Amino acid sequence: MTQVTAASRTALQSYRQMVLIRQFETKIDVLYRQGRVRGPVHLGIGQEAVAVGTAGVLRAGDNSIGTYRGHAHALARGAPPEAVLRELLGRDGGICHGKGGSMHIASVEHGYYGSYAIIGAHLPIATGLAWASRVRHDDRVTVCFFGDGTTNIGAFHEALNLAAVWRLPIVFVCENNHYMEYTPIATVIPVERPAADRAASYGLPAVVVDGNDVNAVAEVIGAAVDLARGGGGPSLVEADTYRLTGHSAADPATYRSKDEVAERATRDPLLRQAAVLAEAGVPAAELASISTAIRAEIDAMTVVALAAPAPAPATAWTDMWSDGSSQWRN
């Protein structure tokens, strides 16, 4: 790099985080097809910019919460990749002790309050987190991620309405990847934008951001976070993005044309950020070395994780209730 500036350092760090998430999920895809990762797995390949751009504007004490497509959000908030990998493999040392699997990653220590499998179920929980911040005057902001299909769930409207009425410190982020599982969102809603076009119903402005541009995500969601932290109430942001893989790792996504996927792949957030860095003077060799190093790191942690034992059977009864065990119920 010819000249290292604060902006270029931030851009490079965002790129590095997106590469980590991409390489991590690519490895998970391989392990799933080998039968080593069991249960449903939902990858966010192509959506990394939303997670990374948002995490970059949050403080250590802020809260975030997401859906079953949540690996990226946990990693972006600082959850250790090996602990997340062990969780998906059902090994000792998993971030949720082997109880969560792919669809229920959580790391409260890093401000990530979990991935939720039930569509829309976490929006009222996120609103509760924001209400707790208001009651405690703790200056925390909650960011709630959800997919475009969630905007047709009652909990979405209930959570938005309550947050707006109480002016809670929360930012709702719709990751619009244009598909509700296997159904194009455009075929089941009467408006163009599933989230933004409904914002006015709750007295909120329609905010849309290019969800494949990590810098634009950071700018737009950063402004919403500042507004919430300053007492200005909630925001609803629609991040226009696209998942480059199927709904789940088991989905061949034959309902999409190859031309559509190929065209969308040209907007890959990693390619977009690489172009930004190239324009800033970062050599292509430096970017390539980042990818190579991260791939080697993930390969090495995979070997270690696969060699780890399964959790001890007795641990199945721990961390299930607030006192740490089930004994008081028996």
Tens-of-pLDDT digits for all 330 residues of the chain? Answer: 445 677 788 999 999 999 999 999 999 999 999 999 999 999 999 999 999 999 999 999 999 999 999 999 999 999 999 999 999 999 999 999 988 999 999 999 999 999 999 999 999 999 999 999 999 999 999 999 999 999 999 999 999 999 999 999 999 999 999 999 999 999 999 999 999 999 999 999 999 999 999 999 999 999 999 999 999 999 999 999 999 999 999 999 999 999 999 999 999 999 999 999 999 999 999 999 999 999 999 999 999 999 999 999 988 888 777 665 656 555
CA angle 311/314/318 to nearest 5° reads 90
- Alpha-carbon distance of 271 to 247, in angstroms, equals 22
Give whole-number Cα distances, 267 to 22, 154, 192, in Å: 15, 32, 20
Distances (CA, A) of 43 to 168, 293, 294: 31, 22, 18
Cα(60)–Cα(143) distance, integer angstroms: 13
How far apart are alpha carbons 219 and 213 in whole angstroms? 10
Q: 112-116 and 63-67: which strand pairing?
A: parallel
CATH of 6-309, one of 2.30.30.230, 3.40.50.970, 3.40.50.300, 3.40.640.10: 3.40.50.970
pLDDT at position 135, please? 96
pLDDT at position 330, please? 52
> What is the per-residue pLDDT for 2?
47
Res 317: pLDDT: 80
pLDDT at 234: 98
Taking a C-beta distance cutoff of 8 angstroms, is the pair 142, 122 a contact? Answer: no
Q: For residue 110, how many other CB atoms are within 10 A of its CB?
A: 18
Tokens of residue 294, six digits = 């991260």
Q: What six digits make up the tokens of 211?
A: 């969800």
pLDDT at residue 170, as a whole number? 98
